[in-house]
Structure 1
Amino acid sequence: MRHWIGALGAVAVGFGLAAVPEMATAEGLTLSRSTMNRAGVFKSQAKLLDGRLAKQYEGSARLKPKTPESLLPQPTARYSGRYKGEYLEAAKAAARRHGVPEDLFLRLVQQESGWNPGAVSVKGATGLAQLMPGTAQLLRVDINDPLQNLDGGARYLKMMFSKFGNWQLALAAYNAGPQAVEKHAGIPPYAETQNYVKVVWGG
């Protein structure tokens, strides 16, 4: 957004200061021709645009679950699992590919499947990242292929982060589903989910 505001400020200066006082007066600003300089033009216009954009996005910001201080960004605990097998580097690569903290994703896989590519839960979650069949179909990955399973898990976790803007809420959505996080406007009050977030996040 700052690049956009800067570009508008440059355009305003480029057209000359003669046209700016009229625009400033129309917006309720009281800058005069004699005192206005280039820095003043940029500052006043940037402030005006910032105010408008803040009002424009105020409503959409309220749609996201509230983030308590305990959920604000914090350093992710390092992965300290004993697994050093063939899928470790593949999991790291999947995390990097989709912009997920490596240690966070490694802890997720450890918690989900214990690094067992053949793990299947009673609910049907499958593989290293324990993807549900419907999620795998949505992501167009082969749920039974360990590498695709990891890629799908990392991609889905990043999707949840993009939706909720917070890694702990993303973990809660990964475990309980995004609808549960939306319904409770935060981590759902389910013992399993709360413990899952605590363990994977490293709290």
Structure 2
Amino acid sequence: MSAEVLSTKNRQKSFSIQTKVLDNRAASQYKASVRLKPQKVETPTKWGSGKSFSGTYSGAYKGQYLTIAKQAAARHGVPEHLFLRLVQQESGWKPTALSHKGAIGLAQLMPGTARVLRVDPHDPAQNLEGGARYLAQQYRKFGSWRLALAAYNAGPAAVTKYGGVPPYKETQNYVRVIWGS
């Protein structure tokens, strides 16, 4: 027999050394992956929020529609800062804003939604009233302000279909900007 043939004892020793090397590499990779893991991972339930809204409205708008928007939010139980951020994001406080999809006014109501809500989307006060009421309806339906915002932007059918914020970049960014997360 040649000298290159290892005895059973030597093969076991070699295997043990190689296993330790692999174990050390795996342990090192695991430590690195744990270091990169976010400190807190939020996993909302189908209708849960995963986080409560704690942001404040810090927009520069101080014009005539601010008081009307605050009153509409209060009337419908919508957190004031949330609704003010929504209006800022939707229209930049321009009462004549018109989206490429046909949404109208400060709260960017779709004509069909405005009809159902029985508001004139071209009237700033009615538009804000309709926007706050519609957002409150979505909150009652989904039980989460994040999902209410997603429904406001993408429609309630999309939120129901996906069981959460739909995987549309526009809607995900919209919720992130207004919700603050």
TM-score, reference length from structure 1? 0.66
Partner of 1:128: 106
Post-superposition offset of 1:73: 4.7
Specify the SS of the correspondent of 1:108: helix
Q: Distance in 2 between matches of 1:105 and 1:150?
A: 9
Matches for 1:45-56 after TM superposition, within 5 Å: none
What does the per-residue CA deviation read over 1:24-58, in whole Å, with 9 as the maximum and x for residues that have no partner?
xxxxxxxxxxxxxxxxxxxxxxxxxxxxxxxxxxx
CA distance in 1, matches of 2:99, 2:123: 16
Output the aligned Cα RMSD.
1.1
* Structure 2 unpaired stretches of 5+: 1-44
Answer whether contact 2:53 2:179 (CA < 8 A) is retained: no
Q: TM-score, normalised by structure 2?
A: 0.74
**Cα offset, 1:75, TM superposition:** 3.5
- CA displacement at 1:74 relative to structure 2: 1.3
Residues 1-203 of structure 1 mapped to structure 2, 5 A cutoff: 66-67=46-47, 71-203=49-181
Q: Which has the larger radius of gyration?
A: 2
Q: Deviations over 1:99-136 (max 9, x none)?
A: 00000000000000000000001111000000000000
Extract structure 1 runs of 4+ deviating beyond 3 A: none
- Change over 3 Å in CA distance of 1:172–1:75 after alignment to 2: closer
Aligned length: 137
Q: Is the contact between residue 55 and residue 179 of structure 2 (CA under 8 Å) also seen in structure 1?
A: yes
Deviations along 1:111-169, one digit per CA (max 9) or x if unpaired, are 00000000001111000000000000000001110000000000000000000000000
Q: Which amino acid aligns with 2:70?
A: K
* In 2, Cα distance between equivalents of 1:194 and 1:73: 15
**Structure 2: how far apart are the matches of 1:149 and 1:156?**
10
Alpha-carbon offset, residue 72 of structure 1:
3.1
